[in-house]
Amino acid sequence: MLFRTAAIACALFAGFKPVVVEASQTVLNLAPSINAATTFAPVGTLDVLSESSFTALAHPEFPAYSVRIKKSNFCDKSVGAYTGYIDIEARHIFFYFFESRNDSDTDDVVFWTNGGPGCSSGVGLFMELGPCRVVNADNGTVHHKESWNSNANVFFVDQPIGVGFSYADYGEFVSTTEEAAKDIAAFVAIFFAHFSKFQGRGFHLSGESYGGRYLPVFAAEIYDQNPRLIKAGIPPINLTSVMIGNGMTDTPTLIPTWYEMQCSAASLPPVQDIKTCVAMKAIVPRCKKWMKESCQDQFDLINCNAALSFCSESIMTPYRNTGFNIYDLSKKCESGDLCYVEIEEIVKYLNRKDVQALLGVEISKYQSCSDNVGRDFSLTLDMMKGATEYVSALLDRDVRVLIYVGTYDWVCNWLGNEAWTLALEWSGQAEFTSQPLTEWKIDGKRAGQTRHAKGFTFATVDAAGHMVPYDKPKESLEMVRRWIAGQPL
């Protein structure tokens, strides 16, 4: 999921609309309860963790980092549920962890992040793929049978600093994906070092939207960290794959397709009037040329920002004026800038004091998306730096990559995602581009189309919007099951 101002597409566009800076979050407890001293020796099992206080874990190889974790019996009481913080000196990143409903001792591990930049993975947990959903905040959660923890152990992480329940003691922040990646890689290393039963398991990084920028960079940092872990006597992370849903991986390729998605029948009949489409079509070639010259051929912060602001406003504003949901062409926007009333209920639920006490969170106000984080990333134009080079490098190192896209999404649509996957330069490009799109099915019924070669898969999910697990829970779970098992879609 994305963010809250009109200044967004798959990221916060600098100069598109003034950013509203949110009030500082109140820190509830800067000295949380920790069981005795920080533990350096491997804990081995999650069974030793307490429900009443955090256990702090660390490793001498990462002196600036520690991980606090506790049992939190909520959401899916049939499995182990845990919450905690990744502490980086004065910065604190919140996470949830759920063991697999199938077999936590053998199943793979999946990491999930929402996008933004600046949006909380609590939305992914409580609206999309988590073991429970929030429909009405006052009534608590309801069981979600198509959760991705049906056959995997799953993390949901509020990253980077300032997102969801994550916070900094003195206003520290990160403003690039490469900076954020270091924190995630250290967290993963410490977690696996302490909980030996997960060592050697397949590890899959997954997420959506701005996750298309995050995840390839995170995966590269984890992969490149492995020699350091081995040297320190820590088992390496078995990085197996990256799964990106409706991602913003190549923004200059994506933005021109906003015109096609509203003015052609690429997914549904055109939603835009002819006069507006004719005017918009004349702008597209200029935008392609300007973004290529200023953002790709040579990165020029001022000119790239000007190109991004002009092109995004010229193509996005007419679409927003139609009243349609930017995350789903088939629907009108229901509520606020994020368009879903469900998100409002999640925010209410996570602001309940009893829920915050159960989770062990340390700030008093939860927001689904942080304008501050979006602003910080927009000032570096992080979104325009792309992640395609990381994807090709991962593929050439035998890390599988799945790009899946709901066909009704407008903002991070299937046209833009298919285009960059076909243009990607890597050792399997010729074989990948030679493959036609073919149907993939569930129980004999078409679920979408797919193309794949040598560990790289592009797949559409029919009639799903930006949040595929929300719109098509059965199809998304089966897709993930097959992918984790190494089976073709």
Quickly list DSSP for 221-244: HHHHHHHHHHHTTPPPP-EEEEEE
CA 20 to chain centroid:
23
The token pair at 412 is 């991070």
The token pair at 331 is 């629907």
Partners of 208 in the β-ladder: 245
DSSP string, 349-365: HHT-HHHHHHHT--BS-
Q: What is the pLDDT of residue 25?
A: 47
User: Which is nearest to 131 in space by CA: 143, 120, 121?
Assistant: 143
Rg, Å, the chain Cα set: 21
Mean pLDDT of 111-128: 96
Q: Determine whether 59 is an active site residue.
A: no
Beta-carbon contacts of 312 under 8 Å, excluding residues fewer than 6 positions away, are: 9, 13, 16, 255
Please check the confidence at residue 266 and state whether its pLDDT lies above 80: yes
365: exposed, middle or buried (C-beta count within 10 Å: 0-12, 13-18, 19+)?
middle
CB count within 10 Å of CB 21 equals 10
Report residue 7's pLDDT band, with 50, 70 and 90 as the boundaries.
very low
Report the first-to-last Cα separation within the chain, whole angstroms: 24
**Catalytic residue chosen out of the listed positions 87, 409, 462, 471:** 409
What sections of 299-455 are H helices per DSSP? 301-321, 341-350, 353-359, 371-379, 388-395, 414-423, 429-433
**Catalytic residue chosen out of the listed positions 72, 314, 466, 476:** 466
Angle at 419 between CA 416 and CA 422, to 5 degrees: 150
Q: What is the pLDDT of residue 31?
A: 37
Beta strands in 17-168 (DSSP E): 55-57, 65-71, 81-88, 91-98, 109-113, 132-136, 140-143, 153-158, 167-168
Residue 157 sits at φ, ψ, to 5 deg, of -120, 125
Q: What is the pLDDT of residue 16?
A: 30
Render pLDDT for 135-175 as a digit per residue (tens, 0 to 9): 999 999 999 999 999 999 999 999 999 999 999 999 889 99
Q: What is the pLDDT of residue 336?
A: 67
Q: How confident is the prediction for the chain on average, in pLDDT?
A: 90
Q: What is the pLDDT of residue 41?
A: 66
Mean pLDDT of 301-327: 95
Report residue 17's pLDDT band, with 50, 70 and 90 as the boundaries.
very low
The token pair at 62 is 């990462």
Please check the confidence at residue 420 and state whether its pLDDT lies above 70: yes
For residues 418 and 466, give the distance between their C-alpha atoms in angstroms, rounded to a whole number: 15
For residues 146 and 37, give the distance between their C-alpha atoms in angstroms, rounded to a whole number: 39
Please check the confidence at residue 35 and state whether its pLDDT lies above 80: no
Q: What is the pLDDT of residue 295?
A: 94
338 vs 379, higher pLDDT: 379
The token pair at 176 is 């690039």
> Are 329 and 411 a contacting pair, CB within 8 Å?
no
386 vs 399, higher pLDDT: 399
Please check the confidence at residue 11 and state whether its pLDDT lies above 60: no
Judged by DSSP in three states, 424 sits in coil
Strands 400-406 and 456-461: parallel
Return the minimum-mean-pLDDT range out of 17-21, 248-252, 406-410. 17-21
CB count within 10 Å of CB 386 equals 21
User: Which is nearest to 87 in space by CA: 173, 166, 178?
Assistant: 166
> Are 425 and 456 a contacting pair, CB within 8 Å?
no
CB count within 10 Å of CB 433 equals 13
CA 54 to chain centroid:
26
> Are 167 and 87 a contacting pair, CB within 8 Å?
no
The token pair at 270 is 């055109």
Render pLDDT for 181-200 as a digit per residue (tens, 0 to 9): 999 999 999 999 999 899 99
Q: What is the pLDDT of residue 39?
A: 63
**Catalytic residue chosen out of the listed positions 121, 166, 209, 378:** 209
227: exposed, middle or buried (C-beta count within 10 Å: 0-12, 13-18, 19+)?
exposed
Angle at 357 between CA 355 and CA 359, to 5 degrees: 70
For residues 239 and 467, give the distance between their C-alpha atoms in angstroms, rounded to a whole number: 24
For residues 244 and 176, give the distance between their C-alpha atoms in angstroms, rounded to a whole number: 19
For residues 426 and 91, give the distance between their C-alpha atoms in angstroms, rounded to a whole number: 37
Q: Determine whether 392 is an active site residue.
A: no
Q: Determine whether 209 is an active site residue.
A: yes
> Are 298 and 307 a contacting pair, CB within 8 Å?
no
**What DSSP state is assigned to residue 65?**
E
Mean pLDDT of 16-26: 34
User: Cis ω on the peptide bond leading into residue 436 (within 30° of 0)?
Assistant: no
For residues 92 and 72, give the distance between their C-alpha atoms in angstroms, rounded to a whole number: 18
Beta-carbon contacts of 272 under 8 Å, excluding residues fewer than 6 positions away, are: 262, 263, 280, 318, 319, 322
For residues 152 and 69, give the distance between their C-alpha atoms in angstroms, rounded to a whole number: 19
